[in-house]
Amino acid sequence: MHALKWDIITRKGGERTYTQLVRLIIIDEIHLLHDDRGPVIEALVARTIRNCETMQEEVRVVGLSATLPNYKDVAKFLRVPDHALFHFDNSYRPVPLEQQYIGIMEKKAVKRFQIMNNIVYDQVMQHAGKNQVLVFVHSRKETGKTARAIRDMCLENDLLGQFLKESSASTEVLRRDAQDVNNHELKDLMPYGFAIHHAGMTRVDRSLVEDLFADRHIQVLVSTSTLAWGVNLPAHTVIIKGTQVYTKGKGILITNHTELQSYLSLMNHQLPIESQFISKLLDNLNAEIVLGTVQNAKDAVKLLGYTYLHIRMIHSPALYSVPVDSDFLLEGYRSDLIHTAASLLDKHNLIRYDKKAGHFQVTELGRIASYYYISHETIATYNQQLKPMLSEIELFRVFSLSAEFKHITVRDEEKLELSKLLERVPIPIKESIEEPSAKVNVPTSPNSNSMEWAQLTDKALVLCKRINRRMWQSMSLLRQFKKMPEDVIKKLEKKNFPWERFYDLNPHEIGELIRMPKIGKTVHKYILQLPKLDLSVHVQPITRSMLRVELTVTPDFKWDDKVHDQSEAFWIIVEDVDGQLILHHEYFLLKAKFCTDEHLIKFFVPVFEPLPPQYFIKKYPPPTELLDLQPLPVSALRNRSFEALYQDQFKFFNPIQTQVFNALYNSNDNVFVGAPTGSGKTICTEFAILRMFTQDPNNKCVYVISIEALAQLVYQGWLQKFGKQLGKKVVFLTGDMATDLKLFAKGHIVIGTPERWDVLPRRWKQRPPSKTPACSLSMNYILSMSELEKADVARFCNRYPNIELTYYIIDKENIASGSTVKVEVTLEREDEFAGSIIAPFFPQKREEGWWLVVGDTNSENLVALKWFSLQQKVNKDLYFVAPHPGKHTYTLYFMSDAYMGCDQGYKFTIDVKD
Please name the fold of domain 97-267. Answer: Rossmann fold (3.40.50)
Same fold, 97-267 and 800-912: no
pLDDT of the residue at 244: 32
Q: CATH number of the domain at 696-797, out of 3.40.50.300, 3.90.1260.10, 3.40.50.2300, 3.20.20.110?
A: 3.40.50.300
Lowest mean per-residue pLDDT among 375-389, 399-413, 510-524, 834-848:
834-848
Q: How many CA atoms lie within 13 A of 729 on its CB side?
A: 12
Is 7 or 430 the better-scoring residue by pLDDT?
Answer: 7
- At 787-845, the pLDDT tens digits run 666 666 665 565 667 788 888 898 888 888 888 899 999 988 766 554 566 555 555 56
Q: Kindly indicate whether the domain formed by 533-606 is annotated with CATH number 3.40.1190.20.
A: no
Q: How far apart are CA 488 and CA 482, in angstroms?
A: 12
User: What share of the chain has pLDDT > 90, as a percent?
Assistant: 12
* Three-state secondary-structure class, residue 175: helix
Please name the fold of domain 3-68+274-371. Answer: Arc Repressor Mutant, subunit A (1.10.10)
- At 899-908, the pLDDT tens digits run 766 778 888 8
Residue ranges of domains in the chain: 3-68+274-371, 97-267, 386-469, 477-529, 533-606, 622-694, 696-797, 800-912
Residue 523's nearest CA partner among 569, 494, 491, 556 is 491
- Is residue 467 very low, low, confident or very high in pLDDT (cuts 50, 70, 90)? low
- Is residue 17 very low, low, confident or very high in pLDDT (cuts 50, 70, 90)? low
Q: What is the mean pLDDT of residues 301-307?
A: 92
Ranges of H-type helices in 252-293: 260-267, 281-291
Q: What is the mean pLDDT of residues 19-46?
A: 87
Residues 789 and 706: beta-carbon distance below 8 Å: no
- At 128-151, the pLDDT tens digits run 777 788 888 877 888 888 889 888
Instruction: Give φ, ψ of 425 to 5 degrees.
Output: -70, 140
CATH number of 386-469: 1.10.3380.10
Chain mean position to CA 789: 28
- Is residue 108 very low, low, confident or very high in pLDDT (cuts 50, 70, 90)? confident
What letter would DSSP give residue 642? H
Look up the CATH architecture of domain 477-529. Answer: Orthogonal Bundle (1.10)
- At 662-717, the pLDDT tens digits run 889 988 888 888 877 778 888 999 999 999 998 888 888 999 887 887 888 889 88
Ranges of H-type helices in 640-680: 640-644, 655-665
Chain mean position to CA 530: 30
Q: What is the mean pLDDT of residues 69-86?
A: 90
Q: How far apart are CA 357 and CA 355, in angstroms?
A: 6
729 has a pLDDT exceeding 60: yes
Mean pLDDT of the chain: 78
174 has a pLDDT exceeding 80: yes
In the CATH hierarchy, which top-level class contains the domain 800-912? mainly beta
Q: How far apart are CA 793 and CA 155, in angstroms?
A: 84
* Three-state secondary-structure class, residue 371: helix
User: What share of the chain has pLDDT > 70, as a percent?
Assistant: 76
Question: What DSSP string runs through 304-317?
Answer: HTTSHHHHHHHH-T
457 has a pLDDT exceeding 80: no
- At 308-339, the pLDDT tens digits run 999 999 988 888 888 887 788 888 899 999 99
